[in-house]
């Protein structure tokens, strides 16, 4: 296949874990990038309930693993792993992605990325993507808590994670294949 596969995530309004349309809307897209501008087919696309709000994406070429980092966004809820989750999916050479799973949560590694401003029922957002919300508690925390970007070192084993809460970049050995 001469065309490369690309992956991106979408921002879906609402609480992806609330059981409504926010969770069933597509938020992970894998598709072929047509180098000659011909129409191409989509690969696998997954519901928002599997990853929620994400920002940083990086790809381990050797295992075809796409890693995605949770990200605090206004009006958009986290996935099942919460504020400190790194998710993983494996994309085949045909563009078919496995269902995303939580690879790990940074708190389990002793890394503090801060507290979800929506914790404890404060500042709830609706489960349906068409529901309006104010999400006021998040506004002042954007860029101050959670994970920023992620990237893999050239060796494919070391994951660099931007910790917005501690203003640090953490280096985490994830192994080859990703463990």
- Mean pLDDT per 10-residue run, the chain (179 residues)? 81 91 90 78 80 95 95 94 96 87 97 89 81 86 96 96 98 87
- Report the C-alpha gap between 103 and 179 in whole angstroms: 8
Given this model, what pLDDT does residue 165 score? 98
Task: Give the H or E element holding residue 170.
Answer: strand 168-173
Q: Residue 22: in which H helix or E strand, if any? A: helix 21-24
pLDDT of 120 = 66
Kindly calculate the radius of gyration of the chain based on its CA atoms and give it in whole angstroms: 16
Q: Phi first, then psi: what are they for 92, rounded to 5°?
A: -70, 170
Residues 6+ apart with CB under 8 A from 98: 44, 89, 90, 91
What single string gives the DSSP state of each residue in 121-154?
Answer: GSS---SSTT-----HHHHTTTTTSSEEEEEE-T
CA distance 32 to 30: 7
Question: 0.75 exceeded by the pTM?
Answer: yes
Apex 7 CA angle, 130 and 86, nearest 5 = 80
Reduced to 3 states (helix: H, G, I; strand: E, B; else coil), residue 79 is: coil
């Amino acid at each position: 296949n001469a065309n490369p596969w690309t992956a991106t995530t979408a921002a879906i309004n609402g609480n992806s874990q609330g059981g409504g349309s926010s969770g069933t809307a597509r938020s992970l897209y894998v598709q072929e990038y047509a180098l000659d501008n011909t129409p191409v087919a989509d690969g696998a696309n997954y519901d928002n309930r599997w990853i929620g709000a994400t920002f940083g994406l990086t790809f381990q070429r050797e295992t075809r693993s796409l890693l995605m980092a949770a990200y605090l966004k206004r009006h958009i809820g986290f996935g099942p792993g919460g504020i400190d989750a790194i998710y993983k999916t494996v994309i085949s050479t045909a563009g078919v992605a496995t269902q995303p799973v939580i690879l790990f949560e940074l708190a389990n590694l002793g890394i503090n990325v801060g507290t979800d401003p929506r914790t404890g029922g404060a500042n709830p957002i609706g489960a349906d993507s068409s529901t309006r919300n104010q999400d006021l508690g998040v506004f002042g925390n954007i860029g101050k808590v959670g994970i920023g970007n992620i990237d893999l070192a050239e060796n494919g084993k070391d994951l660099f994670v931007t910790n917005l809460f501690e203003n640090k970049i953490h280096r985490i050995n994830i192994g080859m294949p990703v463990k």
